[in-house]
Structure formats: C-alpha cells, structure tokens
Amino acid sequence: MEGAGGGNSLPSTSGADAVKRRVSYFYDPDVGNYYYGLGHPMKPHRIRMTHSLLEKYGLLDRMKVIHPQLARDRDLCAFHTDDYVAFLQSAKPETLTNPCVARRFNITDDCPVFYRLFEFCQTYTGASVDAAKELNRCNADIVINWSGGLHHAKRSEASGFCYVNDIVLAILKLLENHDRVLYVDIDIHHGDGVEEAFLTTDRVMTVSFHKFGEYFPGTGHILDNGYGKGKYYAVNVPLNDGIDDESYHYLFKPIIAKVMEVFNPDAVVLQCGADSLSGDRLGCFNLSVKGHAECVRYLRSFNVPLMLLGGGGYTLRNVARCWCYEVYWSLHVEVNDKMPDHEYLGYYGPDYNIHVATSNMENKNSRKSLDDIKAKILDNL
C-alpha cells in the first residue's frame, strides 16, 4: 500500500480485496431539520442532501449505516465546562434576554441561539463519539459522520458556527484505546478549537491546512507549534487565496507522509471541511472535488483506522458533491459522474454532475512560498 509503514496497520484482507475497508456511516434523519436562522450560511440541510445522494448512488448498501445515540450532558462535560453545557441545555431564542450571558458564552449573529439548539449539539456530537467507539471496538476501518467536524468550539464558549467541539470529544474517546491520535484539518479555517484543546499533550498531533492572514479565526501561524510537552505536536500550514489542487498537494503529501513517519498514529481523524472547495460562499481557495477527496484517498492509503468528519462548507450543492465522492473513496468503488434522479437533483443543474470546473482565480501561493513553508514544517517535524 502507498504510505505503508507510516502507521499501525489494520489487518488487511487477501489478494485484490486488500483495498477494501469496513466502513460505518453515522446518520440521524433529524439532523437536516435544524435551522440556524434566516440568512445564516450554516445549513444542516446539506447533510440530508449528501445522504440522499449516497442513497440514490446505492452506497448505503455498501456500508454499515448506524443511527447514533444522542450525546448526554455529562458526555459533553468531558471537555466543556459545566456552566456552558447547562447554558446550552436551557437556551431558547425567546428566553435569551440577558446580554451579559450572551457575551459570556460568545452568543452572536455567527452563533445564535435557535430552536432545539441543544438537541442539535447532542445529535452531531453523539454521532462523532459513537464513531470513535466503533473504531475502539475494531468494528470498522473507516467511520464517517458528516454532521460533525465543528472545530471552532471552545471549552466554555461558542465560536464560528460551532457550539460543542465534537472532534475533541471524539479524540478523547479514541485516546481511551489508542496511544496516539493524529488530527488533520482541511477546512479553509484554522482548526483552532481542536489545537487549543490538545496544545500541551504529545498524544495528539494536530495538523491544519488553512487560509491565514486577516481571516477567521486569525490563528494558525506557522510558528505556533504547541507548548510544553506538546511542543512540535501542533503543525500549522498557512495558505493564501486561490490555492489549487497541485499546489495544495505539493504541501499536503510530503507533510502528511513525514507526520505519519515520525508520529506513527494509532488512529487518524480527518476534518473534511468543504469550504476549501472552489466557489464556496465563504471561502477563497480553488480546490476541485477530486483535489479535496485526494486528501481522503492519501490518508486512507496508510491503512490506519480513520474517522471522517464534516465541517465548513456553504455552497450546499458542492458540499454534497464532495462528501458523496469522499464516501466513494472510502469504499474504493467506481463513481458515475452523472447524478441519478433524486429529490434534490434541481440543486445541481445545469450539468447534474459530481465534478464541476474550478474557477480561473489567481493562485497567490508562489512556488517559493510553498517551498519555504514545506522546509520550515519538515524541519520542525
């Protein structure tokens, strides 16, 4: 296998089927009903659109489909503070009248209190924690929860459309059975909440590829690389506007290869934020669906237990395209570019294909800047 020796290998099947993986997919049919509010770019409906595509392509029959349990308040308190969880549990749009309370927990237009907010947090977090348990029990080689990946949430406050950090809670669950967990983030925004949670430990390495410079959340400088026992266990890859597939993988593959070699993780969590795709409503990168999915394919090739999570992504039709195609790569089956007829087909016109052309935007990442970033990071590793 490509990348063999980079991590602790799964038991492989024999012959040509060595490329196959046992995939468990976590989905709650209610997740698409949650609504941040009029005009808000975060729309959980994209999870239902993705699921519909997977169903019509026949991919659900190739995976174990699991309805996750709701996370309990005490599950959330494994990372979040008691008072913050209590606030989320009781928060309702009609009762949030104290501006001091709103400020304390960073409740803003980005992170509004909406109807059934706590249930939403329980739903996506429960799916990520259950996915971690599935890996812990060796019941799957790859687990998928597209409703998860909310990487900005802090221990005691909301941030960047994120309320509960399901990624941190999933990694904490993985650490119960695995010595070392690697977290990789390909969302256009820095994975600040996850990095901050594990900044001082050497059992979790965080690697984030993100837009840096006057861009939310403003963290993720290349020199930010951990603290204390966790020094050099945080890796930040700052990128500029317009990065395309070739430039992205010029950094991604050698950096990930080196990380797998030196850290030797027992499990990998990949946050697949789709706002790094070309044409995203809030993004400024120029990745194709194939280029984004190549990150999944490359990490899959190391044959280490793998968790795939969602994240950002605000052009709904492209999010569903991307995550559907990444399930194809997880299963290693052929993909038909022309979409089957289904209830959301109208979103994908006029071509109705999985793959769409990238834009002609300028790539502001020069080869010299990429070489400098790569050299600095590989030297630290």
* 8 Å CB contact between 307 and 269: yes
Token representation of residue 133: 């348990």
Nearest alpha-carbon partner for 276 in 248, 306, 308? 248
- Residue 178 marked ligand-binding: no
Given 51, 80, 151, 152, the catalytic residue: 152
Which ranges of the chain does DSSP label H, i.e. alpha helix?
45-56, 73-76, 82-90, 99-104, 117-136, 166-174, 192-197, 245-263, 289-300, 316-331, 367-380
In angstroms, the CA 202 to CA 193 distance is 17
In angstroms, the CA 297 to CA 288 distance is 14
Side-chain-side CA neighbours of 126 within 13 Å: the count stands at: 19
In angstroms, the CA 74 to CA 299 distance is 32
Q: Tell me if residue 152 is catalytic.
A: yes
Residue 191: C-alpha distances to residues 137, 140, 213, 318, 338 (Å): 27, 26, 15, 21, 33
- Residue 130 marked ligand-binding: no
> Is the Cα torsion angle 281, 287, 289, 293 positive or negative in sign?
negative
Owner of token pair 């209590």:
86
Say whether 277 sits in a helix, a strand or coil.
Answer: strand
- Residue 160 marked ligand-binding: yes
In angstroms, the CA 169 to CA 175 distance is 10
- Residue 275 marked ligand-binding: yes
What number of H helices and E strands is found in the chain?
11, 8
Identity of the amino acid at 341: D
Directed axis angle between helix 166-174 and helix 117-136, to 10°?
20
- Residue 67 marked ligand-binding: no
- Residue 187 marked ligand-binding: yes
Please enumerate, by residue number, every residue annotated as part of a binding site for a divalent metal cation: 187, 189, 275
**Feature table: binding site for substrate:** 110, 160, 314
> Would you list which residues are annotated within the binding site?
110, 160, 187, 189, 275, 314
The residues annotated as belonging to the active site are 152
